[in-house]
Amino acid sequence: MITGPICRAARAIVEINRARLATASGIGEDLIEAFERKISTPVDDAIHALQSALEELGAVFIPEKGADGAGVRLKFSRSVTKRLSTLESEGGPVASDDVP
């Protein structure tokens, strides 16, 4: 399960604000801010909803392993993301794809 600072870092990496995360996760902005600032800890279901929303937006969470701390990274590198964006903008019929 993620911590508040990891949540804040994931938001920065996927370049979204609290309002967008609140919409994507169904969790209130005030609760997200309090969690990120370590003022309070939401219930496990709320933390799971935040983590799932951030994963859908492209964050990958790295679990803590012994001396190695927990972290977060992008699912794709910026160059891959840019190429995918270019390909998706080329036109043609709109359809769903299997790109995670």
Q: What are the pLDDT digits (tens) for 21-35?
A: 999 999 999 999 999
- Please state the rounded mean pLDDT for residues 33-43: 96
Q: Which pLDDT belongs to residue 86?
A: 75
Question: Residue 24's beta-bridge partner residues?
Answer: none
**Cβ contacts of residue 66 below 8 Å, gap of 6+?**
none
Continuous H helices in 1-100:
4-14, 18-25, 29-36, 44-56, 78-88
**Cβ contacts of residue 29 below 8 Å, gap of 6+?**
18, 19, 22
Domain ranges of the chain: 4-88
Q: Which pLDDT belongs to residue 79?
A: 73
Q: Is 78 helix (H, G, I), strand (E, B) or coil?
A: helix
- Whole-Å CA distances, 27 to 48, 67, 93, 96: 10, 32, 34, 27
More confident residue, 26 or 73: 26
Q: Which pLDDT belongs to residue 30?
A: 97
- Please state the rounded mean pLDDT for residues 80-97: 68
Q: Which pLDDT belongs to residue 52?
A: 96
CA gap 4, 12 in Å, rounded: 13
Q: Which CATH architecture has domain 4-88?
A: Orthogonal Bundle (1.10)
More confident residue, 83 or 45: 45
Q: Which pLDDT belongs to residue 65?
A: 79
Asked whether residue 67 carries a pLDDT value surpassing 70, the answer given is no
